[in-house]
Amino acid sequence: MAGSKMMQFVSVPQNLPHKRSVDERVQDFGEIYDRFRDERAQEQASRCEQCGIPFCQVHCPVQNNIPDWLRMTAEGRIEEAYELSIATNNLPEICGRICPQDRLCEGNCVIEKGFNSVTIGTVERYINDTAFEKGWVKPNRPLQERKQSVAVIGAGPAGIAVADQLRKQGWQVHVYDRYDRVGGLLIYGIPGFKLEKDVVVRRWKLLEEGGIHFHLGVDIGAPGHPTFSDLRARHDAVFIGTGVYKARALQAPGVGLPGVVPALSYLTASNRISLGDEVAEFADGRLDAKGRHVVVVGGGDTAMDCVRTAIRQGALSVKCLYRRDKDNMPGSMREVKHAEEEGVEFAWLSAPEAFVGEDRVEAVRAVRMRLGAPDSTGRQSPEIVPGSSFTLKADLVIAALGFDPEDHLAMFGEPELKVSRWGTISIDWSTMQTNLPGVFAGGDIVRGASLVVWGIRDGRDAAASMHNYLLARAAEDAALAAAA
Ligand code: FAD
Ligand code: SF4
Ligand code: SF4
């Protein structure tokens, strides 16, 4: 088993890679952690106890074989560690960077009390970045080409995983996306300080080299673009991985004033600038926080990405209004800590009452909240504290209240497609198939706003099921041809 290299947690303290100083990192959109040096990665991997029942793996949505790749890393067998890592995860270099590890693998690491968990995410990133550097990462070229084809709608993590898995099996894979780049929220939602854009582009190019056809700028269901039924007629199976993009609206007087903007428009503009695009709304200042007093409304990861982006754009002040307290916020504590370090001020237990201004927003009138009785989910509902109004100066307000699915009927024109009461697509979880034969779905459009790693898991599960479906169809075609 482990050998003497492992179980070093008693003598080796937890260490993360070097974190750039606040002064330095707020000057650019680069990631804030450097990569592990080889010896440091080996040392950190050697802290693992090699548990018989590894709870880290149980709580990793793609069930990564964590103890084995930690052992190989500790032993300096990085290429083998890479082979194991890529066997269960289509985007390990990305998950290692942006999974909320404190809630998943690392949060369930059982290293004895008093010692901190193994730094699983950073080791995963190290293994895979090393693999790219050393040239071990090759496109997945199938051994056998099959003639049946699949359409994947959406090139986010769910669509990428399903496409990659099916391509390995030799199916012809066509991915359609309304964006001009591959990655979904990886490219236009998540900022570069969490995930540098060249990491996403590098993976996109590899998928293309493996023979996946990307049809970009194709908005399925929009006027002048192919419809959902066109794709069903053109391909042998379809996967829907369109994510959730309808921003939840702020509801307060003055919300329509110029200067009150939705989070995703703001983040997309910033990401496009990082990618070298020209963005009119950024150039004319509508989506640029430079020299402004910024108020972000919301307490999730999207809100944290907005406040930290505003700091980097040179805002005069950045405040985050959240109606519950810090313990009850949905975002990752790690991200809140980074935001606090970078100078973001949090107004906990506060909600906007009105947006004030003449020609554009000039201030937010807010009100204090307190946590009242628990609702049906057991979560305490926020209540307004009477007479507690206060005003915050604001010339850019960013609404980051979360996302819901778009109108599926408008998008797919298919009244038979079964959806839940929240507008997410309903599937049979044992097959990932919708109620329409040959139509599968996964990622945020099924789960509601979720995580990259869950999108990958869904894509992998759907691909396994679609492979069997396509084999059955191929057998039927062969039988028909033989009978003809
Ligand atoms: P998406 O990534 O949304 O991809 C869907 C794709 O479908 C898009 O490319 C879209 O253009 C395309 N599409 C939609 N409709 C059509 C159509 N009609 N025709 C053609 N194409 C279409 N998760 C984490 O794990 N860690 C994080 O740190 C994190 N940070 C986040 C930060 C922000 C700001 C946001 C918004 C989300 C974050 N998430 C994070 C969540 C994560 O990004 C999503 O859960 C994940 O991207 C969902 O993957 P998906 O493939 O289902 O959808
Ligand atoms: Fe942890 Fe995410 Fe990697 Fe799984 S994929 S080991 S949850 S960082
Ligand atoms: Fe190693 Fe922690 Fe996983 Fe146990 S739970 S195998 S100690 S990483």
Each domain of the chain, given as residue ranges in start order, spans: 8-134, 149-244+405-483, 252-402
- Domains 8-134 and 252-402 are alike in CATH topology: no
The domain defined by 8-134 folds into Fumarate Reductase Iron-sulfur Protein; Chain B, domain 2 (1.10.1060)
Residue 89 has pLDDT above 90, yes or no: yes
Q: How far apart are the CA of 105 and the centre of ligand 2, in A?
A: 6
Judge contact between 192 and 251, C-beta under 8 A. no
Residue % of the chain over a pLDDT of 90 = 85
Three-state DSSP class for residue 339: helix
* pLDDT for the residue numbered 330: 84
Q: What are the backbone angles phi and psi of residue 196, rounded to the nearest 5°?
A: -65, 145
Answer yes or no: is pLDDT of 223 > 60. yes
The amino acid at residue 57 is Q
Ligand 1 site-directed mutation target among 242, 245, 306, most atoms within 8 Å of CB: 242
Q: Which ligand is nearest to the CA of 111?
A: 3
> Does the beta carbon of 274 sit less than 6 angstroms from any atom of ligand 1?
no
pLDDT exceeds 90 at position 435: yes
How far, in whole angstroms, is CA 313 from its chain's centroid?
22
**Looking at residues 399-404, what average pLDDT do you find?**
94
Secondary structure of residue 79 in the 3-state scheme = helix
Which tokens in the block code for residue 87?
A: 């066997």
Whether the predicted pLDDT of 246 surpasses 70? yes
- The answer to whether the beta carbons of residues 203 and 94 sit under 8 Å apart is yes
Residue 301 Cα to ligand 1 middle (Å): 13
Q: Is the pLDDT of residue 220 over 70?
A: yes
Between CA 39 and CA 32 the distance in angstroms is 20
- As a whole number of angstroms, the distance between CA 479 and CA 471 comes to 12
What mean pLDDT is predicted for residues 11-19?
Answer: 85
Burial 260-294 (b: 16+ CB within 10 A, else e): bbbbbbbbbbbbbbbbeeebeebeeebbbbeebbb
Q: Could you say which architecture CATH assigns to the domain 252-402? A: 3-Layer(bba) Sandwich (3.50)
Q: What angle do CA 200, 148, 221 make, to 5 degrees?
A: 60
Name the nearest CA neighbour of 90 among 442, 415, 474, 396.
442
Candidate from 112-121, 218-227, 319-328 with smallest mean pLDDT: 112-121
CA atoms within 13 A on the CB side of 151: 24
For residue 45, the model assigns a pLDDT of: 94
**Ligand 1 in reach of 241 Cβ (< 6 A):** yes
Distance 61 CA to ligand 2 centre (A): 7
Radius of gyration of the chain (CA): 24
Task: Give the confidence band of 8 by pLDDT, cuts at 50, 70, 90.
Answer: confident
Tell which atom from ligand 1 comes closest to the C-alpha of 449.
Answer: 45
Instruction: With beta carbons less than 8 A apart as the criterion, state whether 173 and 147 touch.
Output: no
* Atom of ligand 3 lying closest to residue 111 CA: 7
Q: In 10 A of CB 6, how many CB atoms? A: 19
State which of 70, 91, 105 you would mutate to test the pocket of ligand 2, scoring each by most atoms of that ligand within 8 A of its C-beta: 105
Amino acid code (one letter) for 131: A
Q: Is the CB of 99 under 6 A from ligand 1?
A: yes
| CATH number assigned to the domain with residue range 149-244+405-483, chosen from the 4 options 3.50.50.60, 3.60.15.10, 3.30.565.10, 3.10.50.40 | 3.50.50.60
pTM of the model: 0.95
The CB of 226 under 6 Å from ligand 1? The reply is: no
Question: Residue 341 pLDDT > 50, yes or no?
Answer: yes
Q: What is the DSSP letter of 33?
A: B
* pLDDT classification of 4: cutoffs 50, 70, 90: low
Least confident of 11-25, 147-161, 188-202: 11-25
Residues 193/200, Cβ–Cβ less than 8 Å: no
Cβ(459) to ligand 2 under 6 A?
A: no
Q: Is the pLDDT of residue 259 over 90?
A: yes
**DSSP state for residue 21 in the 8-state scheme:** P
Q: Given a cut of 80, is residue 3 above it in pLDDT?
A: no
Which pLDDT score, from 0 to 100, does residue 1 have? 46
Q: Average model confidence (pLDDT) for the chain?
A: 94
CB of 65 shorter than 6 A to ligand 2: no
